[in-house]
Amino acid sequence: MDWMPAAMTGLAIGFAFTAVPGPVTTEATRRSVQGGFWPGFLVNAGSLVGDVVWAVLGLSGAAVLLRHDAFAVALGLVGVGFLFSLARDAIRAFCTPVQADGGTISQGNALKVGAVFSLANPSGIAFWSGVGTGMLAGLGDASAGTIAVLIVAYVFAGMVLGSVFVAIAVLGGRLLGERIMRWVDLASGTALGYFGIRLLWSTLKRADPLLRPALRAIM
């Protein structure tokens, strides 16, 4: 097996995904500014754990079982609730004094937060079962070895670029102090709320075919 094309594809996907602003980047930045490198790093690591789950399912073909609208809607609603909960916590932190040592931030919780972000996002199913499968077809090799190399390269790229972002956030927090921490909370809360609203909208659109028959029966 020529592993280089699969590795390059995985690296490209990982860097592209990590570079796009999203709820994972937002929460990792907030926790890094407040608690240092590890809380932010673990949010990113947790999200990659969820990505690997969807990648294995999608690239192995098992995601066919997960394409039902009801399943995607349920996942979407879980993600919406989670995003809104984190947005509320961030806004609360903005409205209250911030502890400079970030001692209240749990590293275990950070890992779980990242994993839930990824697992509760229905787009992971669509990407890895659709785009990911198309990439394998382009490589001309859908063997287990190729899939493994692609996923490992994806995780490596996500960890590297995610760590760079976290280190930048930590440095910014140390240079600018407590004041920037509070404004990061406000910005994060606003961004997380936006992501929650956007996910809610896409979930409601996905649920429309399921809700229409029920509404017609009631009316």
171-194 pLDDT, tens digit each: 877 776 666 666 767 777 888 788
| Full-model pTM | 0.72
Q: Does the pLDDT at position 92 exceed 50?
A: yes
Q: For residue 152, what pLDDT band results from cuts at 50, 70 and 90?
A: very high
Inter-residue contact 165 to 25 (CB < 8 Å): yes
Round the average pLDDT of the chain to a whole number and report it. Answer: 77
The arithmetic mean of pLDDT across residues 128-132, rounded, is 67
Inter-residue contact 80 to 194 (CB < 8 Å): no
pLDDT score for 73: 77
Backbone angles phi, psi at 175, to 5 degrees: -75, -35
pLDDT score for 158: 92
pLDDT, tens digit, 9 for 90 and up, residues 99-108: 444 444 556 6
Percent of the chain with pLDDT over 70: 71
